[in-house]
Amino acid sequence: MTDIRLGNYADVLGEVQADLIFTSPPYNIGSKQSRKDGRRKYGEYDPKSYGAITDYPDSLPENEYQDQQEAFFLWVADHLTENGTLVYNHKPRRRNGSMIHPAAWFLRPEVTKVLTLMEEVVWDRGSTHNHSNRLMWPQTERL
């Protein structure tokens, strides 16, 4: 049976015990405008890069965002079966001129007590919505 749910994990999953949790959380990249789907040459975003986020806040203070991610990992540890797996899709981001890697909050002491980081898969998306003259255009994410 396939069961796909959309929403805040704590609200929609309740007391679920899962063999696999696959998620791609908000990236906290600071989206401030609504997305314009279309062609980049017309000032819009191409279908592969998605542009700004429209359905949830994506501009939290960085400490609050990382604390939310830690809370999610702790919740996952309570809701995976004994041999369960978490696949967490995220990417390195930049704030104040420095890179922030998702492993930074995955490797927090409270998280490492209950979860083990086993592997990192690098996904080459072939496109990016991070267009800035201050950095290279990253086209990868991590699983």
More confident position, 124 or 77:
77
- Is it the case that residue 34 has pLDDT exceeding 90? no
Give the model confidence (pLDDT) of 63-112 as tens digits: 999 999 999 999 999 999 999 999 999 888 878 878 888 888 889 999 99
Give the Cα separation of 51 and 48 in Å (integer): 9
pTM to 2 decimals?
A: 0.75
Share of the chain above pLDDT 90, in %: 31
